[in-house]
Structure 1
């Protein structure tokens, strides 16, 4: 994975305390890991030790900044594992850190190296453009359930997901950071009392997408091996086949971004690569694409990599891998919040006008059409399905606006992933739907990954409804059971309804609402059927970037063909 050795080791252990974080009073707790000795402290208000901002890998710098991560640097002396506010470069943040690959470990205060507790690895969301490991914390979960939790940073936006198919920018640097983190967990988690043979990867939104993509990668779970880097998966409100999971045309995205920065020679791949290699982080993070994705993408996101004789994270389109069953099935818990589409609520006034002007702009990017007329026809059918015969988006049907984005970005992709996994032979798939109203302020506190409020701690909290404490307790127990045993409701462990595996028809599923029940039948059947039909006809596979030689051949062919046609037109 690492590919080469670090020749010069910067002493991160000595540098971090200079960032201004005061060392807490008290003895803390010492842990020795492969890199050296670190000290963690009790989290305020919890019986939880936390070890924060531990370097787990090193970011290549300069012209190598888009390549796979390097090994972590050794620690001399004792590293004070505090929160140094380390974040990877991203829009809206000026105090980012180039060498940003750090992990945070949370353990019960009673843990010892012999505890052998289950491990939960948390992948933060943010559309692959924003976020950091400490934006949510699992202190409450770890305080109430015996497990070890790990969160971390990974490279974002163009820094993490520029995909030119060249040696300098092969693609998926951010996903390769995640693989490096999982390797670090395998090497070090026993020192924190965790069991490296019982690791669950968890994420929501793009975090759920990443968790699901990790299953399909030969880097993490080789088909012919039982020595994978993790053993269970929780993918919430995101999955491998969501529109925001893979770039349809990574070279075109790279060209568009470069043009925004006033670079014009975008069709010359050598010049384009040189432009990106020398681009500053200020320019790399100049645009935030999360709010721009009318077609439900985040612009720079994982890609299918071209084969250039380097280790690839993603060697084929997720849909192809699933169809072939070319992956090692793992116990997987999929699900979503019924109104994940509130994620787009704040854009309603602007997008209402744009949707009425040209609804085709809002079709998901992973649909393809043989003609513009066909595209317009499908858009008209879908718009009528959600907004009635008038085909007009208005404040009176804002609920349908929410449903539309819930379905195209989160709900239906998750349901497609469930069916694909089961069809490929995975008979250990669980499905849930979260409909509980968490926030008392309905239009502000609801949105993508609402269910995560029940599981994690946030630095800010919504005004919650009266039943929320009980729902939080329920979700934490179910998720812990799955992390620890592979079943959310193991026999004799809970008074909740038994949670059965789902089938290829997405039935049964667990309903987490005002009551908790196992539902026999499909979730959102009418809405899912229309999208099943559309995707069965119009699905478009993401493609790897073409080689320069192939692009030149195609350009030459097009030039010759055009010349021949011109000659014949004058005859």
Structure 2
């Protein structure tokens, strides 16, 4: 739930979304006309929020988290994975970190929803607890988090030293490299479980938009020629 990094701005940004959703379009899209742009904006808004305004309720706030996640992190990651795989890279290991515990804050406007926020996987690798991850003291953290830290450190160390998070002979669940389409991926939660395509429906939705409207990078124009008199 990468979008939780913007949860404290929800009340402000929901009003901005209702006023002008076009301001939230990815910057690498282009359109032939304003009508075409408006149609895509409407399609995106309906996909995440349906036919109602973005509001302070559980359904809207979770859709907001998904939208922010996809906008800044998840879809760019999955698009990059596809590019790497198509370029011949066969050692891309994809994961979703979703470990939470009872002390993880509940998402605002929800009854009992918790999620791993941006950077949570790094805190699980580093020393300390989630409130002071630069400390070496881990005496106050739960046994579940201690176990998660142990697993995460093993995965990271394996990848650094062997190029694979789960090399041959490891007791951890087998973790094959990802192929095109974001599959498989490892779910890193209280237990590790290999799953299929990551966020498949949301990825297909954005794929369709990018196939039609992607604006490829272009070099800047040459500077104006200076004429001295």
Between the aligned partners of 1:518 and 1:475, the Cα distance in structure 2 is 15
1:442 pairs with one of 102, 106, 111: 106
Offset of residue 389 of structure 1: 2.2
Partner of 2:32: 370
Q: Which runs of 5+ in 2 are unaligned?
A: 109-114, 134-139
Offset of residue 549 of structure 1: 3.0
Q: How does 1:219-368 map to 2 (within 5 A)?
A: 339-368=1-30
Greater relative CO, 1 or 2 (CA 8 Å, sep 6+): 2
Between the aligned partners of 2:19 and 2:224, the Cα distance in structure 1 is 40
Between the aligned partners of 1:542 and 1:346, the Cα distance in structure 2 is 32
Partner of 1:547: 222
Change (3 A) 1:546 1:488: same
Partner of 2:91: 428
Greater percentage in helix: 2
Change (3 A) 1:512 1:486: same
Q: Which runs of 5+ in 1 are unaligned?
A: 1-338, 553-571
Between the aligned partners of 2:202 and 2:12, the Cα distance in structure 1 is 25
Between the aligned partners of 2:12 and 2:148, the Cα distance in structure 1 is 35
Partner of 2:146: 469
Change (3 A) 1:358 1:458: farther
| 1:419 is the counterpart of 2:76 | no
SS at 1:393's partner residue?
coil
SS at 1:518's partner residue?
strand
| TM-score between both structures, scaled by the size of structure 1 | 0.35
Partner of 2:67: 404
Is the 1:341–1:447 Cα contact (8 Å) retained in structure 2?
A: yes
Offset of residue 446 of structure 1: 4.6
Is the 1:440–1:465 Cα contact (8 Å) retained in structure 2?
A: no
| 1:385 is the counterpart of 2:47 | yes
Between the aligned partners of 2:127 and 2:143, the Cα distance in structure 1 is 18
Partner of 1:565: none
1:304-358, CA deviations, whole angstroms, 9 ceiling, x for partnerless residues?
Answer: xxxxxxxxxxxxxxxxxxxxxxxxxxxxxxxxxxx00111111111111110011
1:515 pairs with one of 173, 181, 191: 191
1:292-315, CA deviations, whole angstroms, 9 ceiling, x for partnerless residues?
Answer: xxxxxxxxxxxxxxxxxxxxxxxx
**Which has more radius of gyration?**
1
Report the more deviating stretch, 369-378 or 458-467. 458-467
Change (3 A) 1:524 1:497: same
Q: Count how many residue pairs are aligned between Structure 1 and Structure 2.
A: 210
Offset of residue 543 of structure 1: 3.1
What is the RMSD computed on CA atoms of the aligned residues?
A: 2.2
| TM-score between both structures, scaled by the size of structure 2 | 0.84
Partner of 2:136: none
Change (3 A) 1:356 1:475: same
2:121 pairs with one of 451, 464, 480: 451
SS at 1:548's partner residue?
coil
SS at 2:93's partner residue?
strand
Change (3 A) 1:546 1:412: same
Offset of residue 374 of structure 1: 1.4
Offset of residue 368 of structure 1: 1.3
SS at 1:433's partner residue?
strand
Offset of residue 447 of structure 1: 2.4
Is the 2:99–2:116 Cα contact (8 Å) retained in structure 1?
A: no
Change (3 A) 1:466 1:359: farther
Is the 2:186–2:192 Cα contact (8 Å) retained in structure 1?
A: yes
1:116-154, CA deviations, whole angstroms, 9 ceiling, x for partnerless residues?
Answer: xxxxxxxxxxxxxxxxxxxxxxxxxxxxxxxxxxxxxxx
Change (3 A) 1:453 1:442: farther
1:372-422, CA deviations, whole angstroms, 9 ceiling, x for partnerless residues?
Answer: 2211111111101101122x1011110000000001110111111111100
| 1:526 is the counterpart of 2:201 | yes
